[in-house]
Structure 1
Amino acid sequence: MINPASRLNSIELSLIRKMFEVTNPNAINLGIGEPDFNVPENIKEAMKRSIDENDTHYTPNKGYLDLREEITKKFKKENGITTTPEDVIVTVGASEGLYMCTQAFVDKGDEVLLPNPSFLSYEACVNLAGGTPVSVDCKMENEFKLKAEDVQEKITDKTKAIILNSPSNPTGAVMDKEDIKAIADLSIDKNFLIISDEIYEKIIYGKKNYSPAKYSDNVITLNGFSKTYAMTGLRIGYLATTNEDYTEQLLKIHQYNIACANTTAQRGAYEALTGPQDEVKKMVCEFQKRRDLIVSRLNDMGYETVNAEGAFYVFPKIEDENFVQDAAKAGVITVPGVAFGSNGENHVRMSYANSYENIEKAMDILEGMINNG
């Protein structure tokens, strides 16, 4: 056997994906991180037309120009960020964008600040680039929100970047405007990069998303269509930065790895931005109802649960180390919180991207499991 590259020594396969391997066909899956809704019909039709018109050839490396133009309009209108189509790269999901950022800017020995807990891909991508992840505590008493003062304490002369994610996977936390702005100010004063993962920005309840790129040029904004438009399997996202030197370096990674994003998915993405948004609003309204249900039921069971303000996850405090395994045997799939960092210990991530009825059933199962000891 040929030995793998040493950079893989610190990389483990995803605990989230491992939970998908549970073989109970009747289990209710509260582990999966994707909307249970279908792609809106207008987006489907746009992609069908793309195939029928033989629109299946390479696009420009950065993506179709008309799509990038719509992305710049979206940034200006919704995020207060002024970009040009040349600042935008259409990617194979926001995941590719994350990988591009770490490969383009993180060197061996560079420190990258990560919220703890946070999405497990962040640490893996930093490690693959040879960087050193440095965790910043997101405390339950602060509703898991990343605070600027905690970030400032971790900045050193080796700090190269910070990865932000608001709304957050796994906690559903939405950062406050003053913390976003303060971290943006720090990025200027201390000269480090902000990689802002805003993939859940539209799935938010009674709050507003704030983009750090509105306050600093040292920002790469990641976003996509997977969560908002239920296009997870179509793998289509984008990134943008107002610094043309940053764009050139990012394009090197994208060009030699992917060439261009899927043409059909790009046509669907264009329709997603330019077409009606009614289905998005319905989806978010339904997610909020489910959030209210799962938070209420978990708290009633005695599992302290923050009333998450965005995304479609809750992160209850559950100190029973056998809970995830016992729940899976009983018929409810969840994810151990420790998969998302050391501060996830004694927590469990549950996704409410499942039907209201299934969430009710899952809570009944968990309550029965507790009562039966």
Structure 2
Amino acid sequence: MKFASHVEEIDISGIRKSFEGAGPGAINLGLGQPDFDTPDHIKRAAIEAIEEGFTGYTMNLGTAELRGALSEKLRRENGLDYAPGEIMVTSGASEALFLAVAAVVEEGDEVLMGDPGFVSYAALARVAQGRPVSVPMDERFHLTADAVAERITPRTRALIVNSPNNPTGSVQTKEELQALAELAEDHDFALISDEVYEHFVYEGEHASPALYSDDVITINAVSKTYAMTGWRLGYLAARGEALENMLKVHQYVQACASSISQRAALAAVSGPQECVRDMKEEFRRRRDVLVSGLRSMGMDIAKPQGAFYAFPKVGDGDDVAARLIRGGVVTVPGSAFGSVAKDHIRISYAASMADIKTALGRMREIL
């Protein structure tokens, strides 16, 4: 059996690799998954959907009710005017990212992305037979228009922006996002905006690049916001031909997102939001404890403004991550996220306060 060369060259995620070698009793600060349970009103909506027999296919775009609620959510929270017919429900933000890249990238095309950046972006560019192009972030881990402009070529087809950012926790300013959106529009390439951490901003505020250009594909999900990672429910919003071409791919690789998860997502986005605020405040408390503990060990770390990751500078990130795993603390080396952050590790504070404090104690002994 032969395999496609552009798939064979893709490596297994460095995040998953980081878990290897962790023994029993290890504290996992490597996985980007809220440790909270899905709120009860969301679970009840899913149970009711099953009991009502709402278990068949839905429209390829998703149910009209959910897309209507997402349209209102985007207007209310993001200031974006997308009609329900300009929104597609997907099986997680991961599928939405794949659809966006697959719809705009041809063989040999280039996809720009911040470095360090989420592990999926480069892999998805290669799956589409494109070429990932790393754009080094500045000292604050912000992606600047000047840095992006230096790497634009006639083969540039997309720029992926992620704010709040994984792995660094940085949050782009409105002015930076506007400059990036205008740059993409001026050079006629797509801006793909990954906004899955939008509700976890502790300093500053979240903004959507689609405020400044129609050439933006906005991607989001209920996964992080409502502790629904396993429900696999994401969505994207885009104009005209962009949505139509992504729909072509979606209907053949996925058909539709889970009907049950769509009912649950409807309850999530249109129901009470106190659960989101409570999670955010708990993440803030955990962040402050983690950052204080890391600084007490002499680590160089800026306080992350968003998401739920700390990204301290530790020297040789691969070596430090390996030592920590052997000592019972799972983190992810910075090399998993690109070429410019090999002297960092990513630490997730989507873990209990007790686990964070225990992990800090182990790290002091190990390091």
TM-score over 0.5 for the pair = yes
Q: For each residue in 1:93-133, what CA deviation from the matched residue of structure 2 results, as whole angstroms up to 9, or x when unmatched?
A: 00000011111110112111110000010000001101111
Please say if residues 91 and 232 of structure 2, whose CA atoms lie closer than 8 Å, have aligned partners that are also in contact. yes
Q: For each residue in 1:224-266, what CA deviation from the matched residue of structure 2 results, as whole angstroms up to 9, or x when unmatched?
A: 000000000110000011x211111000110000000001100
Aligned to 1:333: 330
SS at match of 2:24: coil
**Which of 295, 299, 305 is the equivalent residue of 2:301?**
305
SS at match of 1:20: coil
In 2, the alpha carbon distance for the partners of 1:23 and 1:173 equals 28
Q: For each residue in 1:173-220, what CA deviation from the matched residue of structure 2 results, as whole angstroms up to 9, or x when unmatched?
A: 100111100111112211110000000000110321110111101100
Figure out how many residues of one structure are paired with residues of the other and give that number.
Answer: 366
SS at match of 1:310: coil
Matches within 5 A, 1:1-373: 2-139=1-138, 141=139, 143-241=140-238, 243-320=239-316, 321-370=318-367
Q: CA RMSD in A?
A: 1.0
Amino acid at match of 1:310: G
In 2, the alpha carbon distance for the partners of 1:144 and 1:183 equals 15
In 1, the alpha carbon distance for the partners of 2:298 and 2:148 equals 32
Please say if residues 22 and 326 of structure 2, whose CA atoms lie closer than 8 Å, have aligned partners that are also in contact. no
Deviation at 1:296, TM superposition (A): 1.2
In 2, the alpha carbon distance for the partners of 1:5 and 1:329 equals 36
SS at match of 1:343: coil
The runs of at least 4 aligned residues of structure 1 exceeding 4 Å deviation read none
In 1, the alpha carbon distance for the partners of 2:67 and 2:292 equals 42
In 2, the alpha carbon distance for the partners of 1:179 and 1:148 equals 7
In 2, the alpha carbon distance for the partners of 1:118 and 1:335 equals 13
Deviation at 1:19, TM superposition (A): 2.5
TM-score normalized by structure 2? 0.98
Q: For each residue in 1:68-88, what CA deviation from the matched residue of structure 2 results, as whole angstroms up to 9, or x when unmatched?
A: 001111111111111111111
In 2, the alpha carbon distance for the partners of 1:193 and 1:118 equals 18
Amino acid at match of 1:203: F
SS at match of 1:178: helix
Q: For each residue in 1:275-327, what CA deviation from the matched residue of structure 2 results, as whole angstroms up to 9, or x when unmatched?
A: 10111100000001111111111122111111100000011111134211111
Please say if residues 218 and 237 of structure 2, whose CA atoms lie closer than 8 Å, have aligned partners that are also in contact. yes
5+ residue gaps, structure 1: none
Q: For each residue in 1:45-70, what CA deviation from the matched residue of structure 2 results, as whole angstroms up to 9, or x when unmatched?
A: 00010011111011000000010001
Please say if residues 168 and 304 of structure 2, whose CA atoms lie closer than 8 Å, have aligned partners that are also in contact. yes
Amino acid at match of 2:91: V
Please say if residues 22 and 328 of structure 2, whose CA atoms lie closer than 8 Å, have aligned partners that are also in contact. no
Deviation at 1:21, TM superposition (A): 3.7
In 2, the alpha carbon distance for the partners of 1:15 and 1:182 equals 31
SS at match of 2:134: strand
TM-score normalized by structure 1? 0.96
SS at match of 2:340: helix
